[in-house]
């Protein structure tokens, strides 16, 4: 019988390590292209939105041949075919062939997220992020990291994102529409994942509530509640009208309108810790003494590697904060705990929901 020696084991280990290294090298040869041409994915999806592909196919009953699509768009089929082939490869539209060989495109769950009338459409968010205003800060990100410049957004656009949008009506609308997209996706998840969140609450104020989509959705799902949508005057002046929702313009660093609870979604991540403490203190002053709490809807970054399917989006969002804000960031549980403690909140609960964000209930 042959004996396995210690030397044999070392050789086997060495060969195994070499095999893994070779596999990683081969994988790197493939993966590096993701970064070489990474921007292409966003650009092609923006192109699909600009062309209105999802809406055209929807209007045609959910599927369409390449020739019909080209004729509706009044273009030649050749470039369009290449765009559709790419999108099909990403499962944005499905390509099939009839028995006569005609190319047909139909909707998929991903292409339906580009449909303007769908509740979960994200088209406006993609259009916002793909504007030159939002893309140009990324090109100066290394200067921001090396602290050669302040905010990358300011360096590219001359002022911070909120001052810029106060003077640029079209950009402000793009932001509000993009935020409304996310609100339509996340608010149902908040209601589903935190059934008792508003029990006993008669009124809330949505701080930095954008166009009021969130407030309207909350009031419609809990008709006994009254909502205040609070944001800059130029934002609330174009707010959505809904019975039970009052729009109030102001600056959250000065004061926040009074209500039982303050709700604040995707606002604190735009700011550094010192500003967050100021905002949270204003929220604390606004809420009722007996049933008051602040409901924060924000990402909670996992401290360790996680299998959570939204974690990649959270880490991307943290990079967006680095590019688009001065001191904003996504926070870990430990960072939230430290922040809430400094702002004078005695305890808090975190409710994970099926979304990029979690719901944090903070009690004074």
Binding site residues, ligand SAM, CB under 6 A: 162, 179, 182-183, 208-210, 214, 231-232, 235, 251-253, 265-267, 270
Helix axes 77-89, 66-73, angle to 10 degrees: 120
Q: Is 269 a catalytic residue?
A: yes
Name the residue nearer to ligand SAM (CB basis): 69 or 179: 179
Nearest distance in Å: CB 159, ligand SAM: 13
Query: Exposed/middle/buried for 162, CB within 10 Å: 0-12, 13-18, 19+?
Result: middle
Name the residue nearer to ligand SAM (CB basis): 94 or 281: 281
Q: Is 309 a catalytic residue?
A: no
Q: Which residue among 330, 335, 347, 351 is the active-site one?
A: 330
Cβ pair 294, 349 in contact under 8 A:
no
Nearest distance in Å: CB 226, ligand SAM: 18
Name the residue nearer to ligand SAM (CB basis): 232 or 310: 232
Cβ pair 206, 150 in contact under 8 A:
no
Nearest distance in Å: CB 229, ligand SAM: 9
- Single out the residue of 208, 138, 218 nearest to residue 176, CA to CA: 208
Cα(179)–Cα(214) distance, rounded to whole angstroms? 9
Nearest distance in Å: CB 156, ligand SAM: 18
Q: Which residue among 269, 275, 309, 311 is the active-site one?
A: 269
Cα(154)–Cα(157) distance, rounded to whole angstroms? 5
Nearest distance in Å: CB 231, ligand SAM: 4
Q: Is 330 a catalytic residue?
A: yes
Name the residue nearer to ligand SAM (CB basis): 135 or 320: 320
Tokens read off for 209: 């509530």
Name the residue nearer to ligand SAM (CB basis): 86 or 310: 310
Q: Which residues contact 290 (CB under 8 A, 6 or more apart)?
A: none
Name the closest residue to ligand SAM (Cβ): 208
- Single out the residue of 206, 317, 346, 322 nearest to residue 272, CA to CA: 322
User: Which residues are catalytically annotated?
Assistant: 269, 298, 330
């Amino acid at each position: 019988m042959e004996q396995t020696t210690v030397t044999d084991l070392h050789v086997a280990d060495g060969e195994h390590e070499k095999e893994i290294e070779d596999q990683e090298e081969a994988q790197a040869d493939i993966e590096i292209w993701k970064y070489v041409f990474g921007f292409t994915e966003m650009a092609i999806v923006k192109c699909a939105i600009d062309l209105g592909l999802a809406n055209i196919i929807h209007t045609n009953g959910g599927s369409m041949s390449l020739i019909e699509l080209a004729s509706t768009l009044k273009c030649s089929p050749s470039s369009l075919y290449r765009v559709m082939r790419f999108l099909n490869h990403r499962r944005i539209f499905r390509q099939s062939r009839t028995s006569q060989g005609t190319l047909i495109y139909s909707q998929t769950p991903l292409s339906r997220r580009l449909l303007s009338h769908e509740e979960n459409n994200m088209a406006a968010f993609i259009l916002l992020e793909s504007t030159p205003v939002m893309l140009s800060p990324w090109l100066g990100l290394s200067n921001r990291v090396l602290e050669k410049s302040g905010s990358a957004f300011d360096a590219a656009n001359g002022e911070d994102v909120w001052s810029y949008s106060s003077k640029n009506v079209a950009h402000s609308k793009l932001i509000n529409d993009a935020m409304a997209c996310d609100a339509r996706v996340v608010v149902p998840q908040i209601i589903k994942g935190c059934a008792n969140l508003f029990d006993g609450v008669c009124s809330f104020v949505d701080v930095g509530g954008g166009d009021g989509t969130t407030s309207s959705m909350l009031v419609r799902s809990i008709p006994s509640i009254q909502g205040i949508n609070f944001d800059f005057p130029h934002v609330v002046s174009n707010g959505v009208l809904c019975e039970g929702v009052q729009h109030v313009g102001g600056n959250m660093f000065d004061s926040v309108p009074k209500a039982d609870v303050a709700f604040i979604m995707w606002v604190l991540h735009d700011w550094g810790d010192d500003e967050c403490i100021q905002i949270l203190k204003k929220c604390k002053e606004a809420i009722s003494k007996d049933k008051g709490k602040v409901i924060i809807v924000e990402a909670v970054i996992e401290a360790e590697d996680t299998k959570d399917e939204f974690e990649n989006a959270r880490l991307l969002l943290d990079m967006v904060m680095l590019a688009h804000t001065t001191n904003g960031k996504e926070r870990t549980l430990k960072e939230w705990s430290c922040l809430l403690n400094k702002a004078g909140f005695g305890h808090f609960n975190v409710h994970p929901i099926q979304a990029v964000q979690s719901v944090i209930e903070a009690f004074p």
